[in-house]
């Protein structure tokens, strides 16, 4: 058994956020946990962001999610499998 974590880095968060959100919604059934992090306070919002996803389901579904995210400009992803 293993835990799968998808790490998403957006370097153009303001322009990529809508497409990333669409991909996350499309694959929402395999997302167990989601954590979003970006440096920003009020009007000093960073244009970089980091999202961590704990995903469940078949490896093919995770690969499809990662492919959809990589199609978004300014987005890099990496899936990490942690054996239990």
Q: Which residues contact 21 (CB under 8 A, 6 or more apart)?
A: none
pLDDT tens for the chain, 84 residues long, are 789 999 999 988 888 889 999 999 999 999 999 999 887 767 777 888 899 999 998 889 999 999 999 999 999 999 999 998
pLDDT in the model for residue 45? 76
Q: What is the pLDDT of residue 38?
A: 80
Question: Which letter does DSSP use for residue 28 in this model?
Answer: G
- Residue 36: predicted pLDDT: 92
**Cα–Cα distance, 28 to 19 (Å, whole number):** 14
CATH class of 2-83: alpha beta
pLDDT for 19 equals 94
3-class secondary structure per residue, 33-79: EEEEECCCCCCCCCCCEEEEEEECCCHHHHHHHHHHHHCCCCEEEEE
């Amino acid at each position: 058994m293993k835990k799968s974590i998808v790490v998403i880095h957006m370097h153009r968060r303001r322009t990529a956020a809508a497409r990333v959100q669409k991909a996350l919604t499309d694959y929402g059934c395999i997302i167990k946990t989601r954590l979003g992090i970006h440096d920003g306070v009020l009007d000093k919002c960073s244009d970089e962001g980091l999202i961590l996803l704990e995903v469940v389901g078949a490896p093919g579904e995770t690969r499809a999610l990662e492919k959809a995210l990589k199609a978004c400009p300014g987005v890099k992803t990496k899936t990490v499998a942690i054996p239990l």
